[in-house]
Structure 1
Amino acid sequence: MSAPSVRQHRPARRTQHTRRDLARRAVLMLALWLGFWLLALGLVIGLFWIPFAQSHYRDSLELSGILAGFAGLTLAYALRPRGWFSREKKELPTWLDRTQAQPLYALVERIGAKAGFKAHVDIHLIGAASAYISAQRNWYGGLKSLRVGLGLPLFAWLSEEELSTVIAHEFGHFAGGDLSLGPWVYRTRASIGAAIADLDESMFFLDALFRLYGHWFLKLSSSVSRAQEFSADAQAARYFGVDATRSALEKVHLIDPAWSAYLDYELGPAIMRGARVPIFEGFRRFCLPGAKRLLVQTAIEKAERRPTAIYDTHPSLEERVAALKPGAKPVYPPPKQCMHLLGGEQPTENAWYINYNPEELRAVAWDEYGTDILKPRMLQRFTDSWMDPAKLPLTELITLAEDPDSLWEKLRPEGVSFLSPAGKRKHVLDILEDWITVSLFHRGFVPVIHPGRELELRRESVSAVPADLLHLAREGKLRSSMLAKFEPDSTVQPA
C-alpha cells in the first residue's frame, strides 16, 4: 500500500479571526491566573495582618485574631506550589529502530515537513489509543528534535490515511503553539483545582470565593483547549480530507474504552506476571461476544457513558464530527489496519515489547498463559501461609466469606495502608478469590483463559468459576454439598 498523499483542502474553521480569538482568550486566561494568585496573596496578607495589628497596637491577641491567623495558615497551605519547580528526570522511552520502521518514520517526517517542521524524529509506541508530539529545543529555543508517541491500537484499527490524520492533528497542535501553552494550562488547572479541594468545607468558608473564581478559570481554559482541538482537526482535514479525519476520530472513540480495559485488566497484568502474550490476538478474543467479568464491563461502560462536562478539555465526538462536516453524525466505520508501516502484526508487537526486558518475559500463547505463568505464581503465593490450600479445606470458604472485614488484619499488605473500608474489603475478597483458584489447582483443575471473562477452571467434565463460588458464599447460598463435586477421589497434588 502506498503512502497517502498530502493534499490541500480548504480550511474548515481555521481562519485569522479564529486564531485571534484564541489568542485573546489565552491572554485573558493568563490575566485570570495572575488575578487568582494576587487575590489569594492579598487575602493571606490581610488575614495575617489582623493578629499582627491586635498584638502590635492593642498589646493583646483576641479570639478574632487567632481565628484569622489560623485561617491565613489554612489558605497559605492550600495555595502551596505543587510540582511547578520539580526537576525530576524522566526515563526516556525506547525508540523504534529507524531501519525496521522506515515507512513509519518517512510518513511522520513527510507530514511534519508539510506542517513546516524539519527536525530529527524519534518514535515510540504508547499503550493508549492516542498520540502526542513533544519538542526538544536547544539553548536558544530552536527546534532540535521531535519525540512522537503513537498508540499501539491505532495500527490495528486505522488505515494509513486515517493514522496520518492523527499525526497531522498533533502537528496542528504544534504549529498553533499549543504544545507550549498546554503544559502551563495543565499545571495551572491542577494547582487551582487542588487549592479549591484543600479549602473545600473549611471552617472559615474560604472556599466559596476561590471556588467561584477557580470554576471561572477552569471553564475558560476548557474553552481554549476545546478550540485548539477544533483547530487541529481542521489541519488534519486540510491535509488528508474530511472523511479520513472524521473516520479516525470515530474509530478512536469507539475502540478506546475496550482497549483501555484490555490493557488494564488483561494485557498489563499478563506482562507484569512475566508473560509475553500475543497482543492483537488477545484483543480480538477480548472483543468476542460473551459476558465480560464485572470489573471489565464496569470499566468499559463507565468510559462509554461518561457525559460531557463544561470543564472537559476535548469537545465531544459529535461536536468534532459536526465541525468537520456540518450536520454529520458519527457512523463508526469498520476497522482497517496499517501494521505494514512496522512490517506486519508480529513486528508491530515486537516493537511494543522492546519497552520491556526480554529476559523477564516468557513468550506464551493465551491458551498456555494460565497453566505456564498464572498457576505457578498463584501457587507460590499461598504456599506455607495460613491459607495454604494443602492445610485449609475449601469448605472453609463458607466461613471466611461471612465476614471478610474480620480478615483484614490477617491479609493486610505490608506497610502503612490508607485504604478505605470498601478498599479493605475488596483487597480481602480479591485474596479469597485467588485462594479459591489455588485450592482448585490442588484438586487437579487447570485454568482456561478467555481474555475479558472470569477465570474458569476445568477438570475433565467439571468446571468452576472462582468468582461465582465467592459470590455464592458472600450471599450465604454456598453449601458444603455443592463443594463436594470439586473433591477428587484422592488428593491430586499440583505439578
Structure 2
Amino acid sequence: MASEELGMTTSNNTTRTAPDKAQAYLNTNSNRNNKIQPRAILVLGLWLGFWLLALGLIVLLMSLPFAQLYYRSSLEISGYVAAFAALCLAYALRPRWRFSARVKTSLPPLDRAKAEPLYAMLEHIASKLKIEAPIEIHLIGAASAFISCERNWYGKLLRLRVGIGLPLLGNLSNAELGSVLAHEFGHYVAGDLALGPWVYRTRKSLTTTVNNLDDSLFFLDLIFRYYGQWVLRLSSSISRAQEFAADAFAVQCFGVKASRAALEKIHLIEPMWSAYLDHELCPAITRGARLPVFEGFRRFCKPSQKRPEVQASIVQSEARPSSHGDSHPTLADRIAAIQPGATPAFPPLADCLQLVGGELAAETAWYSMFEHEQLISSDWDQYGSQILQTQIQERFANSWMAPDKLAFSELVGMAQQAEQLWEKLRPEGVSFLSRLGKRNHVLEILEEWTTACLCQRGFTPQVRPGQALLLSRGQQTVQPRELLTAALDCKLKSASLKQYDRPEAAI
C-alpha cells in the first residue's frame, strides 16, 4: 500500500518513521529556503531594475533635445538622433500586456465517497507534514499535478486544492502517483507556492519582452537583451533548485524506485497524451461527444500512420532541446540526482485507477467536472457516424456549398484556387490570420466539404485516433485528405470523382 511505503524507509540499517522523515525534510528545507528565497527576492528586484534602467535611459536620451531647445532654442543633429533613439527604444520595450477578464469557476471537487483511497493517500502525506486543512481533489486533463492553497485575509490556510491528471491515474502505480503528489507537497512546504507565482510572472514578463525586442539604434537593445537573459538564467536556477528539492522529498516518502519511475513515465507519455488531447479528444468534446478517454488513448498509442500535424506535434514535444532558461531540470539530471550514476529508462506502464473506483468512474468524474452542456455518449467506433457525420453535413446545409447544390467535381478547381475563396469562407468578425493561415483555413473547410459530399453519396466516416479520417461504403474506402492533396498537386481529375457517386446514380 502507498501509505505503508510512506510509513518507513531504511537507511544505514536504521528505520526512520514518516514523522521523522517529514521533520528532517522540514529542517533541511528551512536551510534551503535561506538560500533560495533571497535569490527569488533578488530576481524580483532585478525585474524592477530592468524597467527602471529602461525608463532612465529613455529619459537620459530625451534630455539632450530638451536641453538644446531650452538653452539654444534649436535642435542640432545630435538632438534629433537622441530623440529618435529614445523613441525607438521606448517602442522596442513597450509592455505586451494582455488584459483578460478573470473567470471564476466553481467546479465541484472529486466526490470523496467515490475516491476515498485517493483522499486517504493525500491526507496521509499532509498529516506527516503537519498540514491541517481540508483537501479538494480535481481531475485535470494534463499529464501533470499541482497544489494550490486558499487562505483567508490574515493568511490562515483554509483548504488545499490538488489537481491530478487523468494520464497519471491511467499510467502510474499507486506508489508512483504517491511520489508525484509528495513532490507537489514538497513545493508547498518549501514555500514555493508563495514565491513561485511571482518568479513565474517575472520570467513570463521578461521572456515576452526579450523575445519580442525590436532592434533600436546604437545597439541600445543589446543592454536589455543581455540583462533580461541574465535574470532569466538566475530565475531558472531557482526554479530548478525547487524541483530538485521537491524530488528529494518524494524519494524520502516513496523511495527511489517509485519516484524515478514516475518521472520517466510522465516524460514518456506526456508528448503522446498532449497530442491526443489537442488533436483528438478535445475536438470531439467540442463537437458535443463524450468518448471513452483511456480507450481512445490506447488506440492512439498503437503503431500507425499518424496524421502529419499529429506526428509533428509529438516530434516537436519530444525533440525540444533543453536550455539555460528552462524552469525544470532535464530528465537525465533529475534521475541522476535521485539515483547517482543512473540514466533514464522507461519501465512498463501500470495504473492506479482503483483509487478512484476504476476507469469508467475516473472518466465519469472528469467529464462531470467541466460539462456545461449535455454531451452525447458514444464510442470511437460509432462517433463518426453518430456525431461527426451529422455535424459536418449540417455545416454546409442551406449554404452555397451544400453538396446537393455544388457539384463534387468542383473540388479540383476550388483546391487550386484556395486563396480566392478566402472572402467567401472567412470567419465572422475581424481576422488577423496570415496569408498561410488564411489558406489553411480554406483548406480545412474544403476537406470537411469533401467529407460532406462523400457522406451524401453513402459513405460513412470512421474515426481512428491519430490517423486521417477514413470513409467507407461497402468495400470502397477513401480519405478526404488524400483527395484534397491530390487536387492541390494537380493529380486529381474532375472526371475521376464520378467513381464516388452512388451506384444507382452511376447506372
Q: TM-score, normalised by structure 2?
A: 0.91
Matched position secondary structure for 1:360: coil
Partner residue of 1:251 out of 265, 268, 275: 265
In structure 1, distance between residues paired with 2:41 and 2:189: 18
Task: Show the 5 A alignment for 1:324-339.
Answer: 324-339=338-353
The alignment status of 1:343 with 2:357, answered yes or no, reads: yes
What amino acid is aligned across from residue 342 of structure 1 in structure 2? V
| Deviating more after overlay: 139-148 vs 320-329 | 139-148
In structure 1, distance between residues paired with 2:450 and 2:100: 46
The alignment status of 1:435 with 2:449, answered yes or no, reads: yes
Provide the residue aligned with 1:103 in structure 2.
117
What amino acid is aligned across from residue 36 of structure 1 in structure 2? F
Does structure 1 conserve the Cα–Cα contact (< 8 Å) formed by 2:243 and 2:329? yes
Q: TM-score, normalised by structure 1?
A: 0.93
Task: Show the 5 A alignment for 1:232-271.
Answer: 232-271=246-285
In structure 1, distance between residues paired with 2:376 and 2:142: 23
| Deviating more after overlay: 275-284 vs 27-36 | 27-36
What amino acid is aligned across from residue 255 of structure 1 in structure 2? I
Provide the residue aligned with 1:142 in structure 2.
156
- Offset from partner CA, 1:140-190 (integer Å, 9 cap, x none): 112221111110111100111111101000111111111111111111112
Does structure 2 conserve the Cα–Cα contact (< 8 Å) formed by 1:125 and 1:150? yes
The alignment status of 1:181 with 2:191, answered yes or no, reads: no
Matched position secondary structure for 1:337: coil
Matched position secondary structure for 1:169: helix
Does structure 1 conserve the Cα–Cα contact (< 8 Å) formed by 2:192 and 2:242? yes
In structure 2, distance between residues paired with 1:295 and 1:86: 30
Partner residue of 2:466 out of 452, 467, 482: 452
Rate the CA distance shift 1:277–1:426 in 2: closer, same or farther, 3 A: same
Q: Tell me how far 1:370 sits from its aligned partner.
A: 0.7
Partner residue of 1:474 out of 475, 488, 491: 488
In structure 1, distance between residues paired with 2:210 and 2:82: 19
Matched position secondary structure for 1:331: coil
In structure 2, distance between residues paired with 1:21 and 1:182: 15
Rate the CA distance shift 1:55–1:264 in 2: closer, same or farther, 3 A: same
In structure 2, distance between residues paired with 1:453 and 1:425: 22
Q: Tell me how far 1:316 sits from its aligned partner.
A: 0.9
What amino acid is aligned across from residue 403 of structure 1 in structure 2? Q
In structure 2, distance between residues paired with 1:458 and 1:188: 53
- Offset from partner CA, 1:285-315 (integer Å, 9 cap, x none): 1111211111111111111111111111111
Provide the residue aligned with 1:382 in structure 2.
396
Unpaired segments of 5 or more residues in structure 1? none
Provide the residue aligned with 1:319 in structure 2.
333
Q: Tell me how far 1:68 sits from its aligned partner.
A: 3.5
In structure 1, distance between residues paired with 2:175 and 2:131: 20
In structure 2, distance between residues paired with 1:16 and 1:174: 13
- Offset from partner CA, 1:420-454 (integer Å, 9 cap, x none): 11111111111111111011001100011111111
Q: Tell me how far 1:18 sits from its aligned partner.
A: 4.9
Matched position secondary structure for 2:6: coil
What amino acid is aligned across from residue 6 of structure 1 in structure 2? L
Matched position secondary structure for 1:330: coil
Does structure 1 conserve the Cα–Cα contact (< 8 Å) formed by 2:210 and 2:228? yes
Partner residue of 2:423 out of 400, 405, 409: 409
Percent identity for Structure 1 against Structure 2: 53
The alignment status of 1:397 with 2:411, answered yes or no, reads: yes
Provide the residue aligned with 1:195 in structure 2.
209
In structure 2, distance between residues paired with 1:81 and 1:132: 29
In structure 2, distance between residues paired with 1:302 and 1:234: 30
In structure 1, distance between residues paired with 2:101 and 2:166: 29
Provide the residue aligned with 2:227 in structure 1.
213
Provide the residue aligned with 2:6 in structure 1.
6
In structure 2, distance between residues paired with 1:111 and 1:2: 10
Rate the CA distance shift 1:81–1:91 in 2: closer, same or farther, 3 A: farther
Matched position secondary structure for 2:364: helix
In structure 2, distance between residues paired with 1:461 and 1:87: 53
Q: Tell me how far 1:360 sits from its aligned partner.
A: 2.3
What amino acid is aligned across from residue 305 of structure 1 in structure 2? A
What amino acid is aligned across from residue 159 of structure 2 in structure 1? S
Q: Tell me how far 1:205 sits from its aligned partner.
A: 3.8
In structure 2, distance between residues paired with 1:72 and 1:88: 35
In structure 1, distance between residues paired with 2:420 and 2:100: 42
Does structure 1 conserve the Cα–Cα contact (< 8 Å) formed by 2:421 and 2:442? yes
Rate the CA distance shift 1:96–1:45 in 2: closer, same or farther, 3 A: same
Corresponding residue pairs, total: 492
